[in-house]
């Protein structure tokens, strides 16, 4: 059975989301490059350590998923990573954080160059995450929901010892997880964007109600289980976490998702802190880049480009008490080791990495 999601998704591009606005309602474009990197190389791209480069901006929630999964599975030696800066223009994400403004492996200034290397007339947004073939500098895929699934299923030869099983082997549990992930995506991951980019009052209010109805459902679901699928982390937790960790910093104010803050939802706030404090989750998050991206790039929502000073982040390190629910986050495996040199979040951009 294919691991492709049944609900299509589409990651950010240069305006913070690829979308159309028919009738003033946000609708995300679901088209992406469907090429896969697999063990058998059926699409022409076999799994091969050292051949590919993951390009993933820390600011982007969709890209943050791939950064987390790569780290949890221990794929650092097999799949290198390039990190564009948090802001960009209408053309592309850029490598402005690297010396000379060029990715040190691909030698390019803009991710757009890798897309054009394969599709000279590529008509859509230049999105992250993307995987690029270092042999010819051409993009392989930007199908980010499939990227993380394939890292779990196709790259197993290169997983670290003790890597967690992010996809359940039990078909019934997997079916339930797919259902949970669909709801999390449509109502929460994409729901915050539906609020933020609504083109009318009615569209915004409908989106707002949908979002908080789903957050209330998650508050109830997680009240008696430590993680979304039970006692151990799964892909579903990765997908929810990248929205929750941005909620108070950007979505509450910038996207008008303001019925309450994450810190005012006791179960979800404790759950998010539990994940944040696990190696592989919080240590991938750069709050300064997140805020800079949303408040600077979305000029139609925030024309002044002013970046808020808050919120206070110290609460992310407070005790969460979720251990009382039992379980083992790693499902019998082990936590990933220290973050690799050169891949650490900038000091002061995260309470785990103080100045």
Domain with residue 188: its CATH number is 1.20.1050.10
- What is the per-residue DSSP string for 121-151? T--S---SSEEEETTTTEEEE--HHHHHHHH
State yes or no: is 193 an active-site residue: yes
Residue 50 lies in a domain: yes
Are 237 and 231 spatial neighbours (Cβ–Cβ below 8 Å)?
no
CB 315 within 8 A of CB 353: no
In a shared domain, residues 256 and 296: yes
* Predicted local distance difference test score (pLDDT) of residue 5: 37
Domain boundary among 158, 189, 205: 158
Structure confidence at residue 29 (pLDDT): 77
State yes or no: is 60 an active-site residue.
yes
CB-based contact 90:298 (threshold 8 Å): no
**pLDDT by 10s per residue, the chain, length 355:** 233 333 334 334 333 345 545 568 888 877 899 999 999 999 999 999 999 999 999 999 999 999 999 999 999 999 999 999 999 888 899 999 999 999 999 999 999 999 999 999 999 999 999 999 999 999 999 999 999 999 999 999 999 999 999 999 999 999 999 999 999 999 999 999 999 999 999 999 999 999 999 999 999 999 999 999 999 999 999 999 999 999 999 999 999 999 999 999 999 999 999 999 999 999 999 999 999 999 999 999 999 999 999 999 999 999 999 999 999 999 999 999 999 999 999 999 999 999 8
State the Cα–Cα distance between residues 55 and 51, nearest whole angstrom: 13
The four Cα atoms 298, 302, 308, 312 give a dihedral, to 10 degrees, of -70
Q: Which two tokens stand for residue 41?
A: 């190389």
CB 61 within 8 A of CB 141: no
- 24 and 91 housed in the same domain: yes
Q: Is 348 a member of any domain? A: no
Looking at 93, 126, 158, the residue that finishes a domain is: 158
Name beta bridge partners: 132: 53, 139
The last residue of a domain, from among 128, 158, 188: 158
In a domain, 8, yes or no: no
Distance, CA of 244 to chain centre? 11
Return the number of other C-beta atoms located less than 10 Å from residue 202's C-beta.
12
65 and 105 in a single domain? The answer is: yes
To the nearest 10 degrees (0 to 180), the angle between helices 201-221 and 266-276 is: 70
Please say whether the beta carbons of 227 and 329 come within 8 A. yes
Domains identified in the chain, total number? 2
User: Within this chain, do residues 46 and 145 fall inside the same structural domain, yes or no?
Assistant: yes
Asked if 49 and 144 sit in the same domain, the reply is yes
Domain hosting 220: range is: 171-325
Domain-located, residue 239 = yes
User: Domain containing 29 — which CATH number?
Assistant: 3.40.30.10
> Annotated catalytic residue: which of 32, 60, 257, 294?
60
Q: Are residues 52 and 84 in the same domain?
A: yes
Residues 197 and 309 in one domain: yes
Same-domain pairing of 317 and 196: yes
Residues 152 and 273 in one domain: no
Distance CA 251, CA 154 (A): 34
- The answer on 196 and 309 residing in a single domain is yes
Q: Do residues 78 and 106 share a domain?
A: yes
User: Residue 127 domain-assigned?
Assistant: yes
Selected catalytic residue, list 32, 193, 208, 295: 193
Retrieve residue 333's tokens: 């495996």
Structural domain contains residue 349:
no
Q: Same domain, yes or no, for 193 and 302?
A: yes
Asked whether residue 271 is domain-assigned, the answer is yes
CA separation for the pair 133, 50 (Å, rounded) = 10
Does residue 26 lie within any of the structural domains?
A: yes
Q: Which two tokens stand for residue 324?
A: 């009382």
């Amino acid at each position: 059975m294919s691991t492709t999601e049944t609900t299509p998704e589409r990651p950010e591009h240069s305006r913070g989301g690829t979308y159309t606005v028919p009738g003033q309602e946000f609708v995300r474009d679901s088209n992406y490059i469907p090429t896969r990197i697999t063990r058998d190389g059926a699409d022409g791209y076999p799994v091969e350590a050292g051949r590919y480069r993951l390009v993933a901006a820390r600011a982007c929630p969709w890209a943050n998923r791939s950064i987390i999964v790569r780290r949890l599975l221990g794929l650092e030696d097999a799949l290198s990573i390039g990190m564009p800066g948090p802001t960009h223009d209408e053309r592309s994400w850029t490598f402005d954080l690297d010396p000379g403004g060029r990715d040190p492996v691909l030698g390019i200034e803009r991710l757009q160059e890798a897309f054009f290397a394969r599709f000279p007339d590529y008509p859509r947004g230049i999105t992250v995450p993307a995987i690029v073939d270092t042999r010819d500098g051409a993009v392989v895929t930007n199908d980010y929901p499939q990227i993380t699934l394939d890292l779990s299923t196709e790259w197993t030869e290169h997983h670290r010892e003790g890597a967690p099983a992010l996809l359940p082997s039990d078909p019934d549990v997997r079916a339930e997880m797919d259902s949970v992930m669909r709801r999390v995506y449509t109502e929460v991951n994409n729901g915050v964007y539906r609020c933020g980019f609504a083109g009318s009052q009615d569209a915004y209010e409908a989106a707002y109600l949908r979002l908080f109805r789903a957050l209330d459902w998650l508050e109830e679901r997680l009240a008696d289980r430590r993680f979304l699928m039970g006692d151990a982390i799964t892909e579903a937790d990765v997908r929810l976490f990248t929205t929750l960790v941005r909620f108070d910093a950007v979505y509450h104010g910038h996207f008008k998702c303001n019925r309450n803050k994450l810190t005012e939802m006791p179960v979800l706030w404790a759950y998010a802190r539990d994940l944040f404090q696990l190696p592989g989750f919080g240590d991938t998050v750069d709050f300064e880049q997140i805020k800079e991206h949303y408040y600077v790039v979305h000029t139609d929502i925030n024309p002044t480009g002013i970046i808020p000073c808050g919120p206070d982040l110290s609460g992310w390190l407070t005790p969460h008490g979720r251990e009382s629910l039992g379980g083992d986050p790693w499902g019998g495996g082990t936590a990933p080791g220290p973050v690799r040199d050169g891949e650490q979040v900038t000091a002061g951009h995260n309470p785990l990495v103080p100045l």
